[in-house]
Structure 1
């Protein structure tokens, strides 16, 4: 399976760009993730020859199974994203395609208008749209050193959105792998070997002397 990621932001360090990268890190094993970075080169839609950025994105989406779009923190969609969706809609690229949308705001419903507008445009293009609005707390550390979401609640919300795009068996396998993976201590060694504890307890029990009354 392959998923294409589109960040509705022109600045590499913006939250929506980093959120897209974090979302890619939550995909289960067996899913390829490729980010399209040509948003800033997208021209306004007009009938006639198809520009190179449009051809590139069209090729990527048609070769993929689903799309993830991270929407901006504010209430308006960037003109470049609107132009992109106009081109994709006119070419029928998104018809029947699974698209997940994630927007982020410092308060509940803060990105509601941008997400509603994005849903409307994607559905008009024929896409099957799902998504969620994530609430981020100002002043908090949102990403760790590896670019993953530091807040486990946000990470689970992202996984839930991603899970709507991936086959159930891939998500279940991913959850099983996480459960089976042992916790590590500061030295990088298993923090607790349950099998060792169990065997040690049995061994100690076997050697325990029977005391008479």
Structure 2
């Protein structure tokens, strides 16, 4: 997530009911103890959906290059984030698409045909394999000044079209369980909980469990 959001934004994103849990987990993380539950969301791709929605006037979509992210100074990307983007763009299994208003990047999304990567710090040396008919949509983000315009929904549906073009039947994404805002956004465009991933990290000792919901 870009640095453009502060802690109060995160409280709104995760819900005030989870504020206490967030603060406790923050304290534990400083001690090297991480414990998070993530939900893998899944949806049957539908190419017809993208033809039924349009971008607001003045916005346009294009495939992204590293220069697009570097120029998006209003996102306040860390150097480490830009380095990650560079690595992903050099991998043919990764693609990114963005929506612009004029020359300004407003929102973006990534697609991977490789695997489902767990968020930091669980991502090192571990990933969830994709089924042959799945594509992974991730790191979808809209700048706060461009929200409530349907940009994320457009990107998700456009991503479905790209997945179908690459002979994939399902789109999947992974979301932290407490992130109510993000879960609501994905559910709004038709995603459903498919499986649960429980992760713990105690002073460098990692444990990951997966439970299937099989709701799709």
Common topology (TM > 0.5): no
| Structure richer in strand, relative to its length | 2
- Give the structure-2-normalised TM-score: 0.30
- Highest Rg: 1 or 2? 1
